[in-house]
């Protein structure tokens, strides 16, 4: 174990904590931007620090391809290679393999796939994944799990869950740097509460430094999504960090935090920036629209980031999708937004005003009071009264 997790404040299931990792002391709840290939698209490390990023994700699959984990190791690990002084997390490589590669196949041994370089058959085993991640050197590494889309039904889900449990032991055995890198297990089981429960108990038995809730953020309904998160957070140990993988939208992060999750990652903020979409308290702002061409207001008047303090929507409009600078500036703003959201979640819990924060957040995002039903249901389970944000006739009928 190479981390310390100290809860500093609570509201019902929600918690604000200090997560001490080898390279950085973090405050949770927190969002982790994805720096797929050893960089967050277009942003320099000093900007990431200024924005307030605490942990960045690296994708094992991509880095193992280029420049290779051996090269990264030779040059002192990913922190040194990209000159990032704060924390890093790498995923197992399994997800990309399955989602990016044609003809990837899962067996007991691991994930077999065609090498994207020369088409030869290759095998990613739990051992191999951990060894690659050991070489990359991130503060948190993820176990190789068997991910299935939540839209799939049938025995495949159960098979995947048991693979995950058997593979975790192989991951633990292969892990050579447990005092510098924290191996997180990933809860699978699709949308089936029984399978999820078995998986949680199996992973908790292994006494890992932290746990992730995987297999979500695929194509499942929001209603199914929050219920799985709620079940898992209720069953996972109190005193260890909980990471919901692939989440995501600001609203989802607020709900999951209310239900007791601590960490999140998603490509959404940076990807949507490249398409000209900015994250704002009201939802999103599409800078490409012609209406923006003469709008001299900032993207978000309440945002204190360099972009909102300096540029107007009109100027960003003339840059987006045409100039690299547009991408850079919007990514900067969107990440700043996500980091501010993380900070606000953390401080509002500590200062005992979490419900007020949630209500305010929902009120701005749903000014007509049309808060989605799944959010209302989730908040009820989380024990947060959001009736003041919901208009009287929009509550659920069942």
- Report the site for other proteins in 174-213 (rule: CB under 8 A): none
Contact pattern for other proteins over residues 322 through 341, marking x by CB under 8 A: xxxx-xxx--x---------
Strands (E) across 36-156 are located at: 55-58, 87-90, 105-106, 111-114, 121-124, 140-142
| Tokens coding 250 | 């600001």
Judged by CB under 8 A, which stretch of 24-32, 190-198, 312-320, 368-376 contacts other proteins? 312-320
Q: Whole-angstrom Cα distance, residue 9 to residue 140?
A: 23
- Residue closer to other proteins (CB basis): 86 or 175: 86
> What backbone torsions phi and psi does residue 183 show, to the nearest 5 degrees?
-90, 120
| Tokens coding 261 | 């999750």
According to DSSP, the residues that pair with 31 across neighbouring strands are: 264
According to DSSP, the residues that pair with 77 across neighbouring strands are: none
Q: Which residue has the tokens 């991509």?
A: 62
> Does residue 274 contact residue 329 with C-beta atoms inside 8 Å?
no
Size of the site for other proteins (CB under 8 A): 42
Q: Whole-angstrom Cα distance, residue 225 to residue 247?
A: 11
Q: Which of 296, 301, 392, 393 binds other proteins (CB under 8 A)?
A: 296
> What backbone torsions phi and psi does residue 368 show, to the nearest 5 degrees?
-85, 5
Distance of CA 198 to the CA centre of its chain: 23
Q: Which of 236, 319, 338, 365 binds other proteins (CB under 8 A)?
A: 319
- Residue closer to other proteins (CB basis): 78 or 359: 78
Helix (H, G, I), strand (E, B) or coil at 253: helix
Q: Whole-angstrom Cα distance, residue 98 to residue 158?
A: 18
- Residue closer to other proteins (CB basis): 118 or 398: 118
Name the minimum Å distance from CB 331 to other proteins. 10
The single residue of 192, 265, 294, 295 carrying the catalytic annotation is: 265
The single residue of 73, 91, 300, 370 carrying the catalytic annotation is: 91
The answer to whether 285 contacts other proteins (rule: CB under 8 A) is no
- Residue closer to other proteins (CB basis): 109 or 289: 289
The answer to whether 170 contacts other proteins (rule: CB under 8 A) is no
Name the minimum Å distance from CB 163 to other proteins. 31
| Tokens coding 62 | 């991509």
Q: Whole-angstrom Cα distance, residue 146 to residue 134?
A: 20
Verify whether residue 239 is a known catalytic residue.
Answer: no
Q: Whole-angstrom Cα distance, residue 68 to residue 258?
A: 39
Name the minimum Å distance from CB 382 to other proteins. 38
Contact pattern for other proteins over residues 38 through 77, marking x by CB under 8 A: xx-xxxxxxx--x-----------x---xx---x--xxx-
Verify whether residue 139 is a known catalytic residue.
Answer: no
Name the minimum Å distance from CB 358 to other proteins. 33
CA-based nearest residue to 356, from 343, 366, 347: 347
- Residue closer to other proteins (CB basis): 207 or 310: 310
* Residues of the shown chain interacting with other proteins in the complex, contacts defined by CB under 8 A: 37-39, 41-47, 50, 62, 66-67, 71, 74-76, 81-83, 293-294, 296, 306, 309-312, 314-315, 317-319, 322-325, 327-329, 332
Catalytic residues: 91, 265
């Amino acid at each position: 174990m190479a981390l310390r997790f100290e809860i500093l404040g609570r509201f019902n299931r929600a918690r604000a904590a200090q997560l001490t990792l080898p390279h950085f002391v973090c405050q949770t709840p927190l969002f982790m931007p994805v720096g797929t290939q050893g960089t967050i698209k277009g942003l320099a490390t000093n900007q990431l620090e200024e924005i307030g990023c605490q942990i960045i994700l690296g994708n094992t699959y991509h880095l193992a391809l280029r420049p290779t984990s051996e090269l990264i190791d030779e040059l002192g690990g990913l922190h040194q290679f990209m000159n990032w002084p704060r924390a890093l997390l790498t995923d197992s490589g399994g997800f990309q393999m399955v989602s990016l590669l044609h003809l990837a196949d899962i067996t007991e041994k691991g994930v077999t796939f065609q090498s994207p370089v020369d088409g030869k058959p290759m095998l990613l085993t739990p051992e191999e994944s951990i060894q690659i991640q050991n070489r990359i050197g991130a503060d948190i590494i993820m176990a190789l799990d068997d991910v299935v889309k939540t839209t799939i039904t049938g025995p495949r889900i159960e098979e995947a869950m048991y693979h995950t449990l058997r593979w975790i032991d192989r991951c633990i055995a292969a892990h050579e740097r447990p005092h510098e890198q924290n191996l997180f297990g990933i809860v699978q089981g699709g949308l089936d509460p029984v399978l999820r429960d078995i998986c949680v108990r199996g992973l908790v038995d292994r006494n890992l430094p932290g746990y992730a809730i995987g297999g979500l953020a695929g194509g499942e309904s929001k209603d199914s999504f929050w219920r799985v998160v709620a079940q898992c957070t209720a069953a996972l140990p109190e005193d260890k960090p909980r990471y919901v993988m692939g989440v995501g939208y600001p609203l989802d992060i607020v709900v999951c935090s209310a239900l007791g999750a601590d960490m999140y990652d998603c490509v959404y903020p940076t990807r949507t920036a490249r398409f000209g979409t900015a994250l704002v308290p009201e939802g999103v702002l599409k800078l490409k629209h012609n209406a923006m061409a003469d709008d001299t207001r900032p993207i978000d008047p309440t945002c204190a980031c360099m972009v909102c303090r300096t540029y107007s929507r009109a100027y960003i409009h003339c840059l987006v999708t045409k100039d690299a600078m547009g991408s850079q500036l919007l990514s900067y703003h969107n990440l700043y937004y996500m980091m501010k959201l993380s900070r606000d979640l953390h401080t509002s819990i500590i200062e005992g005003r979490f419900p007020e924060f949630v209500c305010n957040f929902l009120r701005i995002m749903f000014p007509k009071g049309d808060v989605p039903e799944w959010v209302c249901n989730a908040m009820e389970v989380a024990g947060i009264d959001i009736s003041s944000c919901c208009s009287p006739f929009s509550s659920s009928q069942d």
